[in-house]
Amino acid sequence: MSLEVQVMAWLRFEKRCPLVLFERTPRFCVGGRPDVIGVTKDRYLVEVEIKRTLSDFKANQKKRHVLIRHLKLEAWPKQFYFMVPHTLVEKVKPLLPDYAGLLFCPDGGGYMNVEVAAKLNRASRRLSIIEARRLVELQSNQLWAAVRDQQYVEPLWESEVCI
- CATH number for the domain spanning 120: value is 3.40.1350.10
Assigned domain for 148 exists:
no
User: Domain containing 24: what range?
Assistant: 3-126
Assigned domain for 83 exists:
yes
Which residues neighbour 100 within 8 Å (Cβ) at sequence distance 6 or greater?
80, 81, 82, 116, 118
The band of 157, judged by pLDDT with boundaries at 50, 70 and 90, is: very low
Assigned domain for 20 exists:
yes
Assigned domain for 24 exists:
yes
Assigned domain for 150 exists:
no
Assigned domain for 28 exists:
yes
Assigned domain for 157 exists:
no
1-38: pLDDT as tens digits? 588 888 999 999 999 999 998 876 655 454 567 889 99
Cα 68 from Cα 62, distance rounded (Å): 11
- Please state the domain count of the chain: 1
Contact in structure between 89 and 104 (CB atoms under 8 Å): yes
